[in-house]
Amino acid sequence: MRVASIIWGLLGPARMFSPGQVYSGLFVFFILGAVTPIVIYVLAKRWPRSPVRYLMAPLIFGGAGAIPPATPLNYLSWGIVGFVFQFWIKKRHFRWWTRLNFLTSSALDLGLALATLFIFFAFTLHGVDPPSWWGNNIVTSTMDVQGTAIQAHVPEGGRFGPENW
């Protein structure tokens, strides 16, 4: 079942988003989402040669929605590849860019998919353990994995969360 179906159908938006409720502060982001593109537009018109002209509010806010599964490392690598191809190569080698930019993009996507399949069939399917080093075994020493992060227990007949929903 979809989360949106639960929110809008079962709970109802008034119980979650009305003033004084748990998520009432989210309405500020509607205002922020409406005002930010206007501010960027005005700044880009005022200073047309500034880097502000490259900002796009829908991409900024849409990209922020992907942060839980994507890490800052993902955004950094996407940003570097995007800058190199969309700015540096496009400016210096435009003919090459017009012929091969989107082919290169497709090749990078295909390479990721093929590498994922290769890793699965070569290592994961056969139960091969990865090398042990601090970058992949530090996670086993965190409080979350050891179950010591939260020590609070809800007493019998007690309540977890707000008194009124």
Rounded-to-integer distance, Cα 52 and Cα 56, Å: 9
Structural domain contains residue 137: yes
My answer on whether 97 and 128 are in the same domain is yes
Structural domain contains residue 12: yes
Domain that holds residue 135: 71-152
Summarize pLDDT for 4-13 with one digit per residue, the tens.
776 677 777 7
Domain limit, last residue, from 52, 70, 88: 70
My answer on whether 75 and 148 are in the same domain is yes
Summarize pLDDT for 91-137 with one digit per residue, the tens.
999 999 999 999 998 998 899 899 999 999 999 999 998 888 888 88
My answer on whether 9 and 53 are in the same domain is yes
Domain limit, last residue, from 47, 70, 93: 70
User: For residue 58, which of 87, 75, 37, 72 has the smallest C-alpha distance?
Assistant: 37
